[in-house]
Structure 1
Amino acid sequence: MDVVSVTDEESVEALEGVHLAQLAAGERTSVQHFRIEPGAVVGEHSHEHEQTGFVTRGELTFTVDGEEVVTGPGDSYVIPGDAPHAAENRGDEPVEGVEIFSPPRPNPPWVED
């Protein structure tokens, strides 16, 4: 069994104001922690991975297939694989949470080698 604590992993500023930390990765899923600063935007993109998440702090506005959805503390969500999606923190406080990807992303493009 592998255990990876968010306090053990340095976050990477993958985009301006978007901090990601790669956590545990198995054969079928991987986990990342995110912190998105006020005003930060994750532009529209897609990937093969189904992306599920849980917001622990703040409010994050997603646009998935052109539809806006606001998530907040205690909300979980799922974005289907290959669905075009974007996210934006329109609030005054950072947004934090965790996301799980399937298939796993043990080496996402924002991780430095």
Structure 2
Amino acid sequence: MTHVDVVDLSEKWPDSAGTPLPLVRLEEPRLETGSYLIEPGERVPETGTTRHDGDELSVVLSGTVVLGVDGATSRVGPETLIHIPAGVDHFSENRGDEPVRLLYTILGEL
């Protein structure tokens, strides 16, 4: 039988606060999937922007995050898929009253 990983996210959220928590890493193709809990008032990164050498896909499970790209911001709520192409500068900020819980996948280099 093939090995299958099953992750109970309810147990992972405490470890996902403050920094992304990688849950799955593959070398070929290069991929990282993890969970991230963004607390109310938290901005990622704290200042400026971040970027990845690979495409980022994130699914917002709960809460609302403000996504900043190219000087513009968008509010992104639950049950939303975000695609950020490789090399695009961006930030995420939780301006709401509840934590943002999301799953991210980076396809390619971080």
How many residue pairs were aligned? 101
CA distance in 2, matches of 1:92, 1:32: 23
CA distance in 1, matches of 2:69, 2:106: 16
- Do the aligned partners of residues 12 and 73 (structure 1) sit closer, same or farther apart at CA in structure 2, a change above 3 Å counting? closer
| % identical aligned pairs | 27
**TM-score scaled by length of structure 1:** 0.78
- Do the aligned partners of residues 92 and 12 (structure 1) sit closer, same or farther apart at CA in structure 2, a change above 3 Å counting? closer
Structure 1: runs of 5+ lacking an equivalent: 106-113
Larger radius of gyration: 2
2:55 aligned residue: 50
Give the partner amino acid of 2:33. Answer: V
Give the partner amino acid of 2:23. Answer: L
Whose helix proportion is higher, 1 or 2?
2
Given that 1:33 and 1:97 are in contact with CA atoms closer than 8 Å, whether structure 2 keeps it comes out as: yes
1:24 aligned residue: 24
1:38 aligned residue: 40
Show structure 1 runs of 4+ deviating over 6 A.
none
Given that 2:70 and 2:89 are in contact with CA atoms closer than 8 Å, whether structure 1 keeps it comes out as: yes
- Do the aligned partners of residues 9 and 69 (structure 1) sit closer, same or farther apart at CA in structure 2, a change above 3 Å counting? closer
**TM-score scaled by length of structure 2:** 0.80
> Over aligned residues, Cα RMSD in angstroms?
2.1
Give the partner amino acid of 2:24. Answer: A
Structure 2: runs of 5+ lacking an equivalent: none
Give the partner amino acid of 1:11. Answer: D
The structure 2 residue matched to 1:59, chosen from 41, 60, 64, is 64
Give the partner amino acid of 1:78. Answer: H
Whose strand proportion is higher, 1 or 2?
1
